[in-house]
A and B are shown apart, each in its own frame.
Chain A
Amino acid sequence: MIENIILMNGYGIFVWPSFLITLLACGLFYYRTRKTLKKYEKEFAQEIKELSLEKRKTVLENSKIATRILSSYKKTF
């Protein structure tokens, strides 16, 4: 049965590469997108840290998004 699934009556040589290419491309794309997102989150959190206490307070009070980014960054790292 396993042999049938792998060989697919001689069409396995076409079917498996199609699925593998698709899965590999999707996997790589996911990895790159996630990596970029985490990089930006990290940089953003660092830039917030470098702000003076007063400026940081203003940013966090005025921007819900900044607060969310910081909290999601803290969850990850």
Chain B
Amino acid sequence: MFNFFYNSNLFIWIEKIINFINSIFFVLLISALSFALIFSPPDYLQGDSVRIMYVHVPAAWIGLASFSCIGILSILNFIFKIKNLTIITKSIAPLGLMFTCLAIVTGSIWGQPTWGTFWAWDARITSMVILAFFYFIYIAIHKLISDEDKAIKFSSIIAALGLINIPIIKFSVEWWSTLHQPASIKITGTSTIHSSMLMPLLLMFSVLILYCALIFLMKYKTEIIRIKKKNLKRL
């Protein structure tokens, strides 16, 4: 079973998955955008500004999930020294940074009609900015440090430290009094969001997840080619 995880076997699957995602992506994107912008109802309090949720919330979820993955995989890599995990974390990091920045920017735009300001240094927003910094440092370490072992060591430390920030972001709205509303969607417990809004939200989230998978696979493939190129030079 573990043979599947060898790069050569994975590489064949990567191309197939990339082609599959490319073939269904635009149909899903158009339907998700139609639901988010046209068919979903406006909120009784926030009106049509609630539609920003359909990009803001998935972006924030992806930003958080990506760093959680990076953190956990970096710790595993630090202990077990599996080279493939470094390739995976390096491929996830730019995606996570982009979605974290998108969550901050779209959240800021949403803040103006809802709170009357584009920016407030409240706990949730500040901890998201800190997350973006962790991503930035993580990527910068891999770009600037040429010694790969050193880069892995430092970036693993940063990822482990950044992991502490994840529960802070999640529970910031409960621990401190903030402008940000508490979570409407709960994995355990009853969600307070109506199904007419939940459906477009999950659809948009699925589309962005597919996009992430596509970019991740392309980046992963690039990293493998880069390693193969290095090996060629040694011949």
Contacts and interface: CB of A to CB of B under 8 A. Distances in A.
B224 A14 contact: no
Given A8-B48, A37-B222, A48-B232, A14 B55 contact: no
Interface string B33-68: 100111000100001110110011001000000000
B7 interface: yes
Contacts of A53: none
Chain B contact surface mostly: helix
Contacts of A64: 8, 11-12
A65 B15 contact: no
The majority secondary structure among interface residues of chain A is helix
Contacts, number: 108
Given A15-B37, A17-B109, A63 B228 contact: yes
Contacts of B113: 11, 14
Contact of B47 (A9, A17, A18): A9
16 contacts: A11-B47, A11-B51, A14-B113, A15-B51, A17-B109, A18-B55, A18-B105, A19-B37, A21-B106, A22-B106, A25-B101, A26-B211, A30-B214, A44-B228, A51-B235, A65-B224
